[in-house]
Chains A and B, each alone.
Chain A
């Protein structure tokens, strides 16, 4: 294989994703541009898009992320998710739907879970932001991260950073006595030791998993809560044993 051919296959995953997103973005933007009836308004729209891409409008923003203070210069319209991924290089938080429907961008702000795609970076100044990158202590994983590994709490892994951040917050909410929509008695909220799988599923309903690793995810939360979830290893029963 000559060098040119080799290079054709050297497109990195991230570079490919960048190209793919750009192509999809063009497709989505097309109907919006078609709305403009005259060439003049299309020109105006293009001019507006260009000016918005310039340095004009950027403002200094200070964020506290995973214990570090980071000084940034961003447009006010940049979401926390985009600031984390595109500016700070913290690509653990994922962009799934970008509309608060999938949960893959979940991070912790002052300990509470939020969708980082549905808040502006500039609105989070002064708050303690924790992303998936901030959960482990050096090489020691957070217990919830360990539990996800030990219970097969994922398949492709794309939703996993969001699922883990959401689960860390969920456990804290249970300790603080937060209720859910299906808590039978609002004055007796579930304890970590007895929280049901139905409660865990309800409380994690803001995080979707298209691989449908939900059983493993629920087991991981149960283990993190101090319960003994069923083993993720399938039990194979032979016909002789059944007989």
Chain B
């Protein structure tokens, strides 16, 4: 790790101002940032520790939802009684990621802003457009079993690694952002971006901006929400594919449907065409098959990840089926 100076921010304003300076990073949990710094992916000259600021509360909103401070630890959110009760898929998504040791330290903001685990991004011996724009994407033609099948570009085929973010995408969450120019709120699904020809940017955050909170709207259907994660080993591994599904049934028909996919794209992928198709349908094999086909329309598998297309379709069918039956462990 390269040496750096370390300061504890006394306020969010101080942190956002410092963040405008060159070669500056903020650290909260640090479980991803320090890992990257150890292999020289990030080489800040100064590190601003924001972990002691007071954005660590989970509070009910006046609308009946929840406001989650960006410095809430992953464990704290997964074990929150209201989250378990009203948004169980969020608990399950968090608990299916990383290990207890990491979840105890990693923050919600850090989970959202963690960077891809594409092996070519992580290995500075290779070119990578995300690390060094214009240098090339060896993953596109290399060992790309874990890489994207949806929304990729010829510049980048990386996937976003978070489980929690897939659940947040399905829950219509809002992100609260603060920067030197003030505060703003954007839909969570607009925060992460597709790689296009600027894969160095994971999100639409501007220089100096920090995430201060995530807001969950009230959603009665979320109690039957499901998070299904498929991976190479049964625990402590990143998703090959994952599905967050929330369907609401009324008079044996689907009233509302929310479907988000993980492990398939540069951002948590909301399958809106499939959601629209499901509304008004009864839950049967044919409906589920058609919804899954719609969700994967336009999929462009790479040399080694063709299996993800069929795997995602099956995961979608299973997750929707379980949610339609009231939810629970997928």
Binding site for B on A (CB under 8 A): 31-32, 35, 48, 51-52, 57, 59, 75-77, 79, 98-100, 103, 106, 112-115, 118-120, 122-123, 166, 169-170, 173, 177-187, 201-203, 205-207
Contacts and interface: CB of A to CB of B under 8 A. Distances in A.
Interface stretch (B30-38, B136-144, B182-190): B30-38
Interface in B192-227: none
A117 to B, nearest CB: 8
B3 interface: yes
A48 B47 CA distance: 18
B49 A123 contact: yes
A120 B34 contact: yes
Contacts of A113: 100-101, 104
Interface in B1-45: 1-6, 27, 30-31, 34-35, 37-38, 40
A186 B235 contact: no
A120 B27 CA distance: 10
B100 A119 contact: no
Contacts of A120: 6, 27, 30, 34
A225 B6 CA distance: 42
Contact of B98 (A75, A123, A203, A206): A206
B180 interface: no
Given A52-B2, A181-B92, A186-B84, A115 B31 contact: yes
B95 A179 contact: yes
Nearest to A186: B84
A179 B91 contact: yes
B236 A206 contact: yes
Contacts of B79: 177-179
Given A179-B84, A205-B99, A206-B236, A52 B329 contact: no
Given A77-B3, A179-B78, A119 B38 contact: no
Contact of A169 (B37, B84, B91, B100): B100
29 contacts: A32-B124, A35-B124, A52-B2, A75-B3, A76-B3, A76-B5, A77-B1, A77-B37, A79-B34, A99-B38, A100-B102, A103-B101, A113-B104, A114-B101, A114-B104, A114-B105, A115-B102, A118-B34, A123-B49, A123-B51, A166-B101, A170-B100, A179-B84, A179-B95, A187-B85, A203-B100, A205-B235, A206-B99, A206-B236
A181 B100 CA distance: 10
Interface residues of B, number: 41
B179 interface: no
A113 B105 CA distance: 9
Contacts of A115: 31, 101-102, 105
B84 A57 contact: no
A185 B40 CA distance: 42
A170 B101 CA distance: 10
B235 A202 contact: yes
A206 B100 contact: yes
B101 A206 contact: yes
B326 interface: no
A179 B85 CA distance: 12
Nearest to B7: A76
B96 to A, nearest CB: 4
Contacts of B104: 112-114
B99 A103 contact: yes
Contacts of B329: 182-184
A119 B34 contact: yes
A41 B328 CA distance: 57
B298 interface: no
A98 B6 CA distance: 21
Most buried by A among B85, B100, B104, B235: B100
